[in-house]
Structure 1
């Protein structure tokens, strides 16, 4: 059942003065939305935060605060099958979606809600699966935003040793009627609640513990491993985006930020995609794991320096550290700045 409220964790509260509501997709799925107005005196537009698989709005509270302080209104939502949005399997801990069209309808609704409720200019901050879905939408004119920051987009899976075999197995199991079953070996344990040692998500123990506690206490929002149908859908999406001409079709200026130590998605696949982009640069943060926004302060500072340099509207008079100034210069050189057409894509490693 969809949940039209935010979970109040005592040690990690969501930002105040937000609005929460349910909206319905074209095919009848109820999605949970939340929004906040900017806290800075000068308003600089609207950022929609698009999460990855197994995430939910509350996990981005820190990011939402940081965006609001920068002068952005913030909108976020939960994909169907996770968070406070509608589930379509009896065991709600399964990470399930039936087909790629379902996610496309979710994103279309999110874009409509953004345009109906908030002022332009519009920007996207998207992670992993969400980043891949937004990149695909940008190929078809279905992402009505000025710019996009794509964090560790799901263009390949590092955690799958034999992707071709996994793709064939998922397809076979799907057509045999096992689409709503967990992937072989999968279960209900949320990835964020597994031990910190050896985790795939972040090198920051404090943020990992915070998110783990949040997922453990908000069990109605978190999910476990994906279903066969989800994996099949993921491969369909990745196949689309790794086609030779796919990156050339992206018309929205994009900053791609990848994690050098990402054990979830393939950083080489991201770099290959970015090299073909005509609409923006790519940066690799060498010591980061998959969830860059949940990483250490040093890594996050590098991320925000890149974000501020690429997304129009920051306060250029604000004091910056030497490292941030250098990183801003690198991104500005790659991106061509402002609203002008961005420079040809490519990947640059940030020390």
Structure 2
């Protein structure tokens, strides 16, 4: 699929003003779509939030979040990971969510930092990453790549699978067998594939908020080229490799970036217990648990979303609430 050369805008999901679109090419030849926003008041800029999405997402999904960050006095920079959003796909079927290994995403980080963050974004540089993005950034920082990051906030980071019909050991054996048989590029099978694609609001694992859910699904229906379907067997194999790397007993010694983990109490897609365990292993980590919240806390109902924003404001130096940044702005309903 040809990478997108635009940000898709709709009345129900307006683009925050000041957007700059960037075309990047990684060291292994993958073309990526990235975007950045200058601070609303450059003279009072508090730094840059580098925003990293989860699996199967796209820049447009985070327009509301970007508005929140701009209102707090930050510049914002973000990108679509390889294989999703407006970036180049890795297989002939553009609907398949695929990657060879999670460390390939660090090639995306490298060109993003070189092409967008360093030349355009004021320091200090902070990270806000969700789900798969949290996995990638955590691994990146532990492998010595986090020297540019001042602090990280990771929401529902993907450190272990949530509720699945099979144990991780059985998933690993099956994925390894199918990969050896040359099936890495095929969709994950039957029931697991159905769990990976959320289509109906009732019983969904993402959010309690019907308006934000409808905004996501309406956008995906309107922009199918910016969406993907379930992951491939190869993606699962790559994810298993990344998860296993976190179990190295020396991992905690390697991660020095101050990090705030946010776990959602009603999350069934990733393991909240694994997030809590990771936070307890690290010397420079904090942990906030939001009871009742589902997986996508940045897209959740306001009662949960406010808790995320309060934790963010308390952890990121220089942050301030939107009502402080813009006097007279009413709090979320």
Q: Give TM-score scaled by structure 1 length.
A: 0.87
Q: Distance in 2 between matches of 1:219 and 1:187?
A: 18
1:97–1:214 Cα change, 3 Å: same
1:47-93: CA deviations, max 9, x gaps?
11000100000000000001011111100100010000000211111
Kindly state the Cα deviation for residue 259 of structure 1 after the two structures are TM-superposed: 0.5
Q: SS of the counterpart of 2:256? A: coil
Query: 1:220 Cα deviation (Å)?
Result: 0.4
Residue by residue, what CA displacement relative to the aligned partner does 1:224-259 show, whole Å, maximum 9, x if unpaired? Answer: 100011000101111111333323321100010011
1 CA distance for matches of 2:197 and 2:125? 31
- Aligned 8 A contact 2:97 2:235 in 1: yes
Per the alignment, residue 329 of structure 2 pairs with: none
* SS of residue matched to 2:78: strand
Contact 2:131 2:158 in 1 (8 A): yes
Are 1:127 and 2:133 an aligned pair? no
RMSD of aligned residue pairs (Cα, Å): 1.9
Is the partner of 1:203 in helix, strand or coil?
coil
Q: Which residue of 1 aligns with 2:153?
A: 149
Structure-1 separation of matches of 2:105 and 2:15: 25
Alignment of 1:29-108 (within 5 A): 29-40=30-41, 42-108=44-110
Q: Is residue 256–residue 283 contact of structure 1 (8 Å, CA) maintained in 2?
A: yes
Distance in 2, matches of 1:190 and 1:281, equals: 29
The 8 Å contact of residues 93 and 188 in structure 1, kept in 2 or not, is answered as: no
Q: Give the equivalent residue in structure 2 for 1:179.
A: 184
Q: Secondary structure at the match of 1:220?
A: helix
Helix, strand or coil: the match of 1:5?
coil
User: What's the TM-score once normalised by structure 2's chain length?
Assistant: 0.91
> Cα 1:246–1:316, aligned 2, differ >3 Å: closer, same or farther?
same
Aligned residues: 319
CA distance in 1, matches of 2:68, 2:89: 30
The runs of 5 or more residues in structure 2 that have no matched partner are 326-333
Unpaired segments ≥5 residues, structure 1:
321-351
Tell me the equivalent position of 1:199.
204
- The one of the two structures with greater contact order (alpha-carbon pairs below 8 A, sep at least 6) is 2
Q: Distance in 1 between matches of 2:259 and 2:174?
A: 33
Find out whether 1:272 has 2:274 as its counterpart: no
The within-5 A match list for 1:1-351 is: 1-40=2-41, 42-112=44-114, 113-143=116-146, 144-160=148-164, 161-185=166-190, 191-192=197-198, 194-315=199-320
Match of 1:324 in 2: none
Shift in alpha-carbon separation, 1:190–1:5, aligned structure 2, 3 A: farther
